[in-house]
Amino acid sequence: MQKLLRYKKEIALSLVLVFLLALVRVFEELFYDPFLAYFRSDYLKMPFPEYDSLKLFFSLFLRYALNSLISIAIIQVLFKDFGLSKFAGVLYLVFFIILIVAFFSILNFSNQENNLLLFYVRRFLIQPLFLLLFVPAFFYQNKISKKNNNS
């Protein structure tokens, strides 16, 4: 319990940042995304909806950037390591490039049989899923690093 009290500022800040991630999700309707309604319906049997590529790109970029910045802030609060936060930022950038290319490639060059693939690629673009992967990985890396330093 004393450890929790010692880190109350970090816990409070982390909770605020998680709340901000939730707000991005709550206000997802503010972003241009014709696939919101599409994936809520019986999308496996439907063609892709009409969309404006440029508008969709910038909307996905904005949402990904907001989630990424908040996620990097959470990583900074948890680990207090600017180098690690920079590394996470580079990973977020690399993954964005890979995912956005995959997303538009699936939309433009594949048949309707790839609806599920598009669903999952889009999910990584609009949700802060990488945070769920990075935090445990960074904790494990810190644990291994401390163990090796103590040896």
Inter-residue contact 138 to 79 (CB < 8 Å):
yes
Per-residue confidence (pLDDT) for residue 135, from 0 to 100: 95
**Higher pLDDT residue, 149 or 16?**
16
Alpha-carbon distance values, 10 to 66, 70, 80, 87 (Å): 20, 14, 10, 21
CA angle in degrees (0–180, nearest 5) for 104-123-107: 20
In this predicted structure, the answer to whether residue 45 has a pLDDT above a threshold of 90 is: no
CA distance 10 to 28: 27
Per-residue pLDDT band for 1 (boundaries 50, 70, 90) equals low
**Higher pLDDT residue, 47 or 92?**
92
pTM above 0.75, yes or no: yes
Per-residue confidence (pLDDT) for residue 23, from 0 to 100: 97
CA distance 7 to 62: 32
Per-residue pLDDT band for 47 (boundaries 50, 70, 90) equals confident
CA distance 46 to 43: 5
Output the average pLDDT for the chain: 92
Per-residue pLDDT band for 151 (boundaries 50, 70, 90) equals low
Q: Hey, where are the domains in the chain?
A: 2-150
Tens digits of per-residue pLDDT, 9-21? 888 999 999 999 9
